[in-house]
A and B are shown apart, each in its own frame.
Chain A
Amino acid sequence: MHRLRRLVTRVPVRSAPAEPDEWAIKAFPVPRPARWVATVVVGVLIAMLVHGLVTNGTFGWGAVGRYFFTPLVLSGVRLTVILTVVSMAAGIVIGVLVAVMRMSPNPLMSNASRLYIWFFRGTPLLVQLIFWYNIGALYPKISVGIPFGPSFASFSANHVLTSLVAALIGLSLNEGAYMAEIIRAGIMAVDSGQIEAARAVGMHHGLLLRRVVLPQAMRVVIPPTGNQVITMLKTTSLCSVLAIAELLYSVELIYARNFETIPLLVVASLWYLFMTSVLSVGQFYLERHFGKGQSTLMRLSMARR
C-alpha cells in the first residue's frame, strides 16, 4: 500500500520510458479453450463442405455453367423481377391506404382495415394464390356496373384472370397487409411535436403528410421494407405452382426434360442470391439518403455521452 502510493506520485514526474516500464500492462489473457475447439470444428465443417462441392459430381458445375444464361432461365429471371416489382409497388400503395384507414377516426374504416390485415396475414400465401387461381369457379363472370344495379359490361373470369394476373393479385393483396403495418409503425414513430409545428406554420393535412410526416417515417419504414422486397423476391417462387414461368418454374421445366435436377436448382439459387445481394446494396444507399440530418444527430448524442 505504502509502496503503491509512492509509485503513483512518481508517475507524472517520470519522462520518456527509457527503462522497461513497470506500469505497462502485460497481463496473460484468460484462456478460452472452448473458442479453440469451436474454431477447429467450424474449420473442419467448412473444409468438408468445400470438399463436397468440388468432388461430388452430382453438383454438375459444368451443367450449372451451361444453363446459367440459357434463354429460358433468363426469361424466368425477368419474370421473377417483374412479379417482385409490380406486386411490391402495388403492395406499398395498398399498404399506405390501409395504414391511413387504420388510423382513421371513423371506426368502420379502422375496423375494415384491421379485418383486411387479419385475413391476409392469417392465411398462408400459397393458399391465397391457389384461391385466386381458381376464382373463376367462385365467380365465373366479372361485371362492371352499379352495385346491386345494372351492369355495363361483363367478362369471363377465366379469360381476364390469367394465372399471371391471379399471382399478381395474390402477392399484392398479401404484401399490402404487411406493408400496412410497417407504414403505420413509421407514421407513429414521428414525434407528435413535428405535426404540431407543421400545423402551426399553416400546413394543411396533405402538405403536412407529404413534407413532414412521410419523409421522417421513411427512415423507420425503409429497413423493414427492404426486408419485404427481399422476401418477396424469394416468395415469387411460390407462383411456380400456378405454372407461371418465373425462375423456379423455368428451371423445373428444364430439369423435367433432362433430369439434371441439382445443377438447375443451383442455377436458380445462385440467381436468387445475386438478386438479393443487389437489393441489399440498394437498401444501404436508400437508408443513407433518408437518414440525412438524423444519423448525425444520433452520432452526436452518442458522442456527448
Chain B
Amino acid sequence: MPDVSSPVSNGATATDDFVRVVKATKRFGPTTVFENLDLVVGQGKVCCIIGPSGAGKSTLLRCMNALERLSAGRIYVGGDLIGYRQRGDRLYELTDRQAALQRSRIGMVFQRFNLFPHMTVLENISEAPIRVLHKDRAEVLEQSRTLLARVGLSDKERAYPGHLSGGQQQRVAIARALALEPRLMLFDEPTSALDPELCGEVLDVMKQLAHHGITMIVVTHEMGFAREVADEVVFMDGGAIVEQGPPTAILEHPAEERTAKFLSSVFGRAP
C-alpha cells in the first residue's frame, strides 16, 4: 500500500498480527455494544473470547466477517481491511459481490448451526464452493466427502439436517465452513445450543482443527476447551476487553476482580 496517512498502516502480512482489530466501536442506535477495542490474533493461533452475555463477544465476531458493520475503527484479516477498500485516506464500501467474496474466505460457525434445511448434508457442504467459488463440481464433491469423513459423518451425506442430532448438525456446519478453505475460522458459541453429552464430539472436531494450525477465534463458555486449546484467552465484559493472556494465567490467576467473579460464577465456586 502506497499510503501511510491512514491511522494504521495496512498490508501487514506478518503472521503475528494476522487478525487485527483496531479501535473498534459498535453502536446500535443509542446503545454502545463495545468501544475502542483492540485485539490481535497471530496466524495459526487459537483465541478464545469469554465473558458474560451482553459483553459484546458475538457482535465483535460478527463484525470480523462483516455480518455487522463497525460504527468506528478497523478490522484487518490477513492484511485486508474488512468491509471496505482503502485508497489514500479514503474508504470505499465494498460492493455486495466484493463483500461476499471477502466473507467466503472467513469461515463462520453459528450457535444454532443454520444449516440449509432444504439441502442434504453433502449439498450443504458443496453448495458454496460450487456456486460461490465456481470450482469443478466433481472435485468439490470429493473434497466435501473428505471433510465429512474428517468430522466423522461419512454415512450421513444424503441425510437432511432435520434428521441429524444437534452435535451432528454442528459438525456438518464446521465442514461447510471448511469447504471454502478459509484462512480464519470464527466460532460463535458453537456448543451453547447442544445437550451436554453432545458438546464433546463438536469440541473434539475443533481441537483437531486447532492442531492443524487454522487460525481460530472462538466465543465460548467451555472453559475446559479454552484451557486445553487456546493460545490466548480474552475476557470481555461491558463492551471492553478486561484482560487477556495465556489460558492458565487468565483462568487460574485472573488479575482483575471482574474476571475472577465471572469465572467463579461459571464454575459455581472460586476455582
A: residues with CB less than 8 A from B are 191, 193-194, 196-205, 207, 211-212, 215-216, 290, 292-294, 296-297, 300
Pair A203/B116 contact, Cβ less than 8 Å: no
Q: Contact size class for B?
A: 35 or more
Which of A194, A196, A202, A215 is in CB contact (< 8 Å) with B101? A202
Q: Is the interface of B mostly helix, strand, loop or mixed?
A: mixed
Pair B110/A197 contact, Cβ less than 8 Å: yes
Determine if B161 is an interface residue (Cβ-Cβ < 8 Å).
yes
Q: Is the interface of A mostly helix, strand, loop or mixed?
A: helix
Pair A297/B117 contact, Cβ less than 8 Å: yes
Pair B67/A201 contact, Cβ less than 8 Å: no
Pair A212/B116 contact, Cβ less than 8 Å: yes
Which of A191, A196, A211, A300 is in CB contact (< 8 Å) with B67? A196
| B66 nearest CB neighbor, chain A only | A199
Pair A296/B104 contact, Cβ less than 8 Å: no
Most buried by B among A191, A204, A207: A204
**For the complex, what is the distance from the CA of A235 to the CA of B102, rounded to whole Å?**
50
Pair B160/A203 contact, Cβ less than 8 Å: no
Chain B residues in 8 Å Cβ range of A294: 117-118, 162
The smallest beta-carbon distance between A20 and chain B, in angstroms, is 47
Given known contacts A196-B114, A199-B67, A200-B65, what 14 new A-B pairs fall within 8 Å (CB)? A193-B112, A197-B114, A198-B116, A200-B67, A200-B108, A200-B110, A201-B104, A201-B132, A202-B101, A203-B128, A204-B100, A216-B118, A294-B162, A297-B160
Determine if B177 is an interface residue (Cβ-Cβ < 8 Å).
yes
**For the complex, what is the distance from the CA of A78 to the CA of B128, rounded to whole Å?**
45
Chain B residues in 8 Å Cβ range of A197: 108, 110, 114-116, 173
Pair B119/A201 contact, Cβ less than 8 Å: no
The smallest beta-carbon distance between A18 and chain B, in angstroms, is 46
| B176 nearest CB neighbor, chain A only | A201
Determine if B180 is an interface residue (Cβ-Cβ < 8 Å).
yes
Pair A202/B128 contact, Cβ less than 8 Å: yes
Pair B128/A205 contact, Cβ less than 8 Å: no
| A297 nearest CB neighbor, chain B only | B162
**For the complex, what is the distance from the CA of A204 to the CA of B128, rounded to whole Å?**
11
Chain A residues in 8 Å Cβ range of B127: 201, 211
**For the complex, what is the distance from the CA of A216 to the CA of B104, rounded to whole Å?**
22
Pair A292/B160 contact, Cβ less than 8 Å: yes
**For the complex, what is the distance from the CA of A211 to the CA of B117, rounded to whole Å?**
12
**For the complex, what is the distance from the CA of A207 to the CA of B117, rounded to whole Å?**
17
The smallest beta-carbon distance between B167 and chain A, in angstroms, is 16
**For the complex, what is the distance from the CA of A243 to the CA of B24, rounded to whole Å?**
69
The smallest beta-carbon distance between B6 and chain A, in angstroms, is 26
Chain A residues in 8 Å Cβ range of B115: 197
Determine if B97 is an interface residue (Cβ-Cβ < 8 Å).
yes
Which of B67, B119, B131 is in CB contact (< 8 Å) with A293? B119
**For the complex, what is the distance from the CA of A267 to the CA of B239, rounded to whole Å?**
73
Segment 39-84 of B: residues with Cβ below 8 Å from A: 65, 67
Pair B160/A296 contact, Cβ less than 8 Å: yes
- Sampled A-B contacts (30; CB under 8 Å): A191-B114, A193-B114, A196-B67, A197-B110, A197-B114, A197-B173, A199-B67, A200-B106, A200-B107, A200-B177, A201-B103, A201-B104, A202-B102, A202-B103, A202-B105, A203-B100, A203-B128, A203-B131, A204-B96, A204-B97, A204-B100, A207-B132, A211-B127, A215-B118, A290-B118, A292-B118, A292-B160, A293-B119, A293-B162, A296-B162
**For the complex, what is the distance from the CA of A300 to the CA of B112, rounded to whole Å?**
18
| A301 nearest CB neighbor, chain B only | B162
Smallest CB-CB A-B distances: 3 pairs: A202-B104, A297-B162, A293-B160
Determine if B163 is an interface residue (Cβ-Cβ < 8 Å).
yes
The smallest beta-carbon distance between A110 and chain B, in angstroms, is 20
**For the complex, what is the distance from the CA of A300 to the CA of B107, rounded to whole Å?**
30
User: Per-position contact with A for B144-178: 1 when CB-CB < 8 Å, else 0?
Assistant: 00000000000000001111000000000100110
The smallest beta-carbon distance between A297 and chain B, in angstroms, is 3
Most buried by A among B100, B105, B119, B128: B100
**For the complex, what is the distance from the CA of A191 to the CA of B107, rounded to whole Å?**
20
The smallest beta-carbon distance between B123 and chain A, in angstroms, is 10
Segment 85-139 of B: residues with Cβ below 8 Å from A: 96-97, 100-108, 110, 112, 114-120, 127-128, 131-133
Contacts known (A197-B114, A200-B103); A300 close to B162, Cβ less than 8 A: yes
Pair B132/A203 contact, Cβ less than 8 Å: yes
The smallest beta-carbon distance between B233 and chain A, in angstroms, is 24
**For the complex, what is the distance from the CA of A203 to the CA of B67, rounded to whole Å?**
12
The smallest beta-carbon distance between B65 and chain A, in angstroms, is 6
**For the complex, what is the distance from the CA of A24 to the CA of B143, rounded to whole Å?**
61
Chain B residues in 8 Å Cβ range of A193: 110, 112, 114
**For the complex, what is the distance from the CA of A293 to the CA of B159, rounded to whole Å?**
8
**For the complex, what is the distance from the CA of A297 to the CA of B164, rounded to whole Å?**
9
The smallest beta-carbon distance between B212 and chain A, in angstroms, is 20
Pair A293/B128 contact, Cβ less than 8 Å: no
**For the complex, what is the distance from the CA of A204 to the CA of B94, rounded to whole Å?**
12
The smallest beta-carbon distance between A57 and chain B, in angstroms, is 57
